[in-house]
Structure 1
C-alpha cells in the first residue's frame, strides 16, 4: 500500500517537539498576510496548516501561521514563551494548559474527530468471524466489550478461528496506540476502554482508576515500544509496516480517502464506544484567540478542515457532503457509536501513568 503523500515534517527537533511546519513562508504565497502568529499543534494537524490552500485562505484574512508539532500531552512541559497559541487534540490537555496560563474561557474548538481503528482486510475478517467486530465492505464496528475480554484473557491471533489462513496474523491480539503519557489519542484510548471496562462509568478518582488499571496496563504493555505521534503510527500502517490494527483519528483516514490513496486492503472499524478528539485552541495572546475564532467561523477554512478529514463543530452536513463518495469507508453519521465521557485531566494522567506501569 502506498505511503501517505503530503505529510510535511519540515524540521526535526529534539525534546518533545517533533516537527515544525511553516505556513505562509517558502510556499510562493503572495497573499496579504499582515500578522504572524506562532503556535504548537498536534501532529495530525500538520498537513492542514501546511496546505497551500490553507496558507492562502489565512493570508486572505491577514494571517501567517508558524506551527511546530508536539504530542498533545507533552505540550504542558514545553516553554511556550513567545507563542500565540497551543492547539492540542482534545479538551483535557487544552483545559490543563488554559489553567496553567490562566487563559479565559471559552476556548475555541474549531473541529473534532472520533477515534477509529484501521485494519487490514484479513484482520478485520478474522475479528468479524470471531464475534469481535461487524464488518461490511470497507467499514465496520469494533465490539469493545468483546475486544477487552479477549485482551483480559491474553487471546492470541492463533486462537482465533480463520487466522491460520493469514501468516501475518501472529502474536497477542492487540490494537496499536500511541504513548498515553505524551499523545492525546493514546490517552483517549484508555478513557474509552476504561469506561467500557467499568460498565459504563467514567473514572472520577484514584479508586476508579485502580479498578481498571490491570486491564489498561495489559492494553499498553502488550504493544512494546509506542510512538508519541498518531501521524507516525498511521504512516507505518499505510506503508504496510507495523501491526494489523492501529488506533488513529478518523480525520487521518478521511484525508487519505480525499487524496485517493486508500487501497482495497483498508477497513475502518468504529469502536462501538469511542472517544472524540475535540481539537481545542488555547489562546496565549489576543492574536491567538482571533486565529482560533477565525478557524471556527470562516467558511473557506471550515471547508478546508473538512478536506483534511476534520468534522467542523456545529454542522454535520458539511462533513457528510464532503465525504459522500467515501461512505463505504466512513460512518458519516456515527450511527451505533457511543461517545465515552473523558475523565478530568488529573484522572486521565493518573490512568496513563498506571497503564505505563
Structure 2
C-alpha cells in the first residue's frame, strides 16, 4: 500500500520595505559632507555677491592706459570688480601717446604721470568735455639694476651693506659717466660688459617714464635749474640728446626686459616704476619664500614726483575711479602689487606699504620722496624738449 504524502502549504514571507536612500547609513556620511560643503559654498557666494552675477547686468567700462594696465589685468582685481558688476576692457598705450591722440571713445584714461594728465585735462577743459580726476596710488620712477652695477656706480646703500635692495644714486655722477662715454668695463673691471654706461628707457615719444627721466637728466645737466624759455629749453635738449639716444632703439616695456631671466644682458640698468620691482619681489617671496637680492633699485637723490591720474571721461569711468580709490579689497590688492596707496583725502599712506612688506619679510624702501626734488620744465617747454630729443612725429 502506497505511503500517504503530506503537502505543506507554501509559506509567504513578508519583507520589511527598504529604507529610504536618504536614511541609509552608508549614504548619510558622504551625502552629509557634500551637502555641508555645498551649503558653505552657497553662503560664501551669497555673501560675496558672486552668486547673483549671472542675473546682474555687467557694466563694461573701457579705458586707455599705460604702465598701470598691470593693475587691471590682475586676476584678483578683475574678480573684485566683477563682484561689483564691473568689467574693464583696456587698450594699452604710452602716457604721452594717450594724451596726444583721440580718447573720446573711452570711459577713462590712466596716464602714468602728471605731464600727460595735464595735457588731457587742459584739452578736455578747452572743449568743455567731462573729466574727473582720481589719484588712487603712486609709484616713483627708479633705476632698476643689479648689485654689482650699483656698486660700480658708487651708489649708497640704504640699509645693511651687501644685503639692502635699495641704493641712493647721485645723479651728477651718473651723468658724468654717460657724458664721458665710459663703458661698464672701464668703470669696473668686475663687470663683463663693453657697452657704454647708460640707463635704458622706453620710447621718449610715448612713455611717461622716459619723458620723466629726460626731465631728470635735463635738471642735473642744467645745474639743478629748469629752462625758462623755448630757446634755452631747445638748447638744453640738444645737449642731453646724446645722453638719452645712445641706447639705440628703445624697448616697449623695460620692466619685462629687466626682470627676464636674461635681464642682465638685456637691460643692466633700466628706468622703470618702483611697483614693478616690488611686485616681482612680493611674487617671488610668496612663491618660494626667497628674495631676489641680486636685483636692486637705484633711487635718484633728487626725486621726480610721478603721480598717475585716473581721468574719468564718463560717469561710468567716474564710478570706476571711486571704486579703485575707496574699495578696501582693491586698495589692499594695490599694495600687494607694489603700489603706494593714497588715502581718500589724498594723503600718501606710506605706513600701509611698510607694514605689508615687513609682514612678508621684504626690505622696505625709503619713502621715494627726498628732500631735494627735481622740477620738470613747464608743460609747453617739456613737450618741445621731448619732441627735440626723441625726433617725435
Category of TM-score, reference length = shorter chain:
0.7 to 0.9
SS at match of 1:83: coil
Partners in 2 of 1:280 and 1:335 — Cα distance? 18
Residue 85 (structure 2) aligns with: 62
Q: In the alignment, is residue 139 of structure 1 matched against residue 166 of structure 2?
A: yes
Deviation at 1:278, TM superposition (A): 1.1
Deviation at 1:115, TM superposition (A): 0.8
Residue 33 (structure 2) aligns with: none
Residue 354 (structure 1) aligns with: 388
Residue 164 (structure 1) aligns with: 189
Cα 1:216–1:337 change in 2 (3 A) is farther
Residue 301 (structure 2) aligns with: 272
Deviation at 1:282, TM superposition (A): 1.8
SS at match of 2:134: coil
User: Which structure is higher in helix share?
Assistant: 2
Unpaired runs of 5+ residues, structure 2, are: 1-49, 286-290
CA displacement 1:206-231 (0-9 Å, x = unmatched): 23423432442122121111023344
Partners in 1 of 2:333 and 2:207 — Cα distance? 24
Cα 1:234–1:100 change in 2 (3 A) is farther
Partners in 2 of 1:77 and 1:228 — Cα distance? 18
Q: In the alignment, is residue 148 of structure 1 matched against residue 175 of structure 2?
A: yes
Deviates more, 1:57-66 or 1:178-187: 57-66
CA displacement 1:150-170 (0-9 Å, x = unmatched): 22222222332xx22222x22
CA displacement 1:91-143 (0-9 Å, x = unmatched): 11112122223356662111111111111222112112xxxx21343221111
Cα 1:327–1:188 change in 2 (3 A) is farther
Query: Contact 1:255 / 1:309 at 8 angstroms: preserved in 2?
Result: yes
Instruction: Output aligned runs, 1:1-357, within 5 Å.
Output: 31=53, 34-42=58-66, 44-102=67-125, 103=129, 107-128=133-154, 133-135=155-157, 136=161, 137=163, 138-160=165-187, 163-167=188-192, 169-236=193-260, 239-260=263-284, 263-313=292-342, 314=347, 315-324=349-358, 329-334=363-368, 336=370, 338-356=372-390
Unpaired runs of 5+ residues, structure 1, are: 1-28
SS at match of 2:182: coil
Partners in 2 of 1:84 and 1:335 — Cα distance? 32
Cα 1:115–1:327 change in 2 (3 A) is farther
Deviation at 1:183, TM superposition (A): 0.5
SS at match of 1:166: coil
Deviates more, 1:272-281 or 1:99-108: 99-108
Cα 1:79–1:105 change in 2 (3 A) is closer
CA displacement 1:264-301 (0-9 Å, x = unmatched): 32121111113232111121111112211221222221
Partners in 1 of 2:124 and 2:172 — Cα distance? 39
| Structure with the greater alpha carbon radius of gyration | 2
SS at match of 1:260: helix
Aligned positions, number? 321
Give the TM-score taking structure 1 as reference length: 0.81
CA displacement 1:43-98 (0-9 Å, x = unmatched): x2233112222112222333211111111111134442321011110111112122
Query: Contact 1:91 / 1:278 at 8 angstroms: preserved in 2?
Result: yes
Give the TM-score taking structure 2 as reference length: 0.74
Query: Contact 1:38 / 1:85 at 8 angstroms: preserved in 2?
Result: yes
CA displacement 1:153-192 (0-9 Å, x = unmatched): 22222332xx22222x222111111111111100000112
Deviates more, 1:173-182 or 1:268-277: 268-277
Deviation at 1:309, TM superposition (A): 1.1
Partners in 1 of 2:333 and 2:57 — Cα distance? 18
Cα 1:348–1:108 change in 2 (3 A) is same
Query: Contact 2:95 / 2:111 at 8 angstroms: preserved in 1?
Result: yes
User: Which structure is higher in strand share?
Assistant: 1
